[in-house]
Amino acid sequence: MSEKGILFLEDGTVFEGTLFGAPTSAAEIHRWKEKRDYGYGEVVFNTSLTGYQEILTDPSYYGQIICMTAAHIGNTGTNSEDLESARPWCGGFVIRENSETTSNWRSEQNLQDYLFKMNVPAICNVDTRALTRHLRSKGVLRGILLPAKEKEIAAELLRSLPRFEGRDLIGEVTTREPYLWRSSQYGKAGATAFTSNRKTPTRKFKVVALDFGIKWNLLRALEERGCEIEVVPAKTNAKEILARKPHGVFLSNGPGDPTGAPYAIDAVQQLVGKVPLFGVCMGQQILALALGGKTFKLRFGHRGGNQPVLDHASGCVEISSHNHGYAVDSGSLPKRVEVTHINLNDKTVEGIRVRDADAFAVQYHPESCPGPHDSLIHFDRFIDMMNRNVSKVS
């Protein structure tokens, strides 16, 4: 029998619905809170029409409860090919209608069974349109998923749970040990979808990827372009990275407030000018902080696959995939940093490059999983940068 549930927000607003997925209660949340954010987090909305499995398994959503604005979720089921990491990382999942019938030939499990197996509490039959409008008006709010019968204790329980500003979420999701990336060992997805129009380079480039909460398809896109990748923990220092003699260093996506990871900022600061750098999402924020810039929290963030971004150099607009709650303050950047891309919705910084060093970053997700493929060119730019650097040395 379905249990009535609530999404309780820290401003006292309550959204009613039906619980599904993993069980949630005050007792369950207390049991998990020392290990991971479970049943609570900052409530955010994602405007993507498809790709909910990639969204669920994106480590950048750690510490968040995700509201999908699309009305029907679960239509295509879940499978072992569309994973962005080994498991979901979000604290909860909020949708309008849960499609119990799946209609895709690759489906291996429906959404309900997948969320139950992976310990993700969820709620459906929620007025997600009203919730999204509320978040756009009030800004991001912390929330908690509970059975309706525990409504009276929701406010007290939520007040007892930690806030997220300044918290080192990167340190909670990063790999504990370095490892060599091989696509064949991580899910079944092939890399053909990520191939650009260029031929795979004959030269093999050794790339060290700093794992701030990395998505597998970022690694697949680099591997497809001839890179041999070693993924290292976020706390790996510059000396240890340079000792590996990489042709380039990749700064990954990740969750939360970038100022909560000063060790990553210090490492990148020491890498600028010594090895080519390419950052994505959190990687851009860490690079900007390392260069002396500042970041700030957006009112409700960018999350979805339809964000228009202007490339100043080409004059072209990329429709891009986003998932971030913080942005770079353009006015804080030193003269050596050029803003290369801006968001056409709110004029925030979407790309930067260092004028006197081989280093650049974008705030969005060029691996496009899920999302449009307009931005794959950035991987090719990183390859070109490493190739030029090798040519200079040789």
Long-range contacts of range 149-155, CB-CB < 8 Å, 24 or more positions apart? 149/4, 150/25, 150/26, 151/6, 151/8, 151/14, 153/26, 154/6, 154/8, 154/14, 155/8, 155/12
CA triple 207-211-217, angle to 5 deg: 75
Given 28, 365, 369, 378, which residue is catalytic? 365
Phi, psi of 295 (to 5 degrees): -125, 160
Separation between Cα atoms, residue 365 and residue 372, nearest integer Å: 10
Whether 63 contacts 33, CB under 8 Å:
no
Given 10, 54, 350, 367, which residue is catalytic? 367
Cβ atoms within 10 Å of 306's Cβ, excluding its own: 14
Is 108 part of the annotated catalytic residue set? Answer: no
Taking alpha carbons only, the member of 175, 260, 168, 265 closest to residue 213 is 175
Burial of 130 (0-12, 13-18, 19+ CB in 10 A): exposed
Separation between Cα atoms, residue 58 and residue 253, nearest integer Å: 9
Given 67, 124, 227, 281, which residue is catalytic? 281
What's the 3-state SS for 295-348? EEEEEEEEEEEEEEEEECCCCCEEEEEEEEEEEECHHHCCCCEEEEEEECCCCC
Is 365 part of the annotated catalytic residue set? Answer: yes
Is 281 part of the annotated catalytic residue set? Answer: yes
Taking alpha carbons only, the member of 235, 208, 211 closest to residue 222 is 208
> Which residues are known to be catalytic?
281, 365, 367
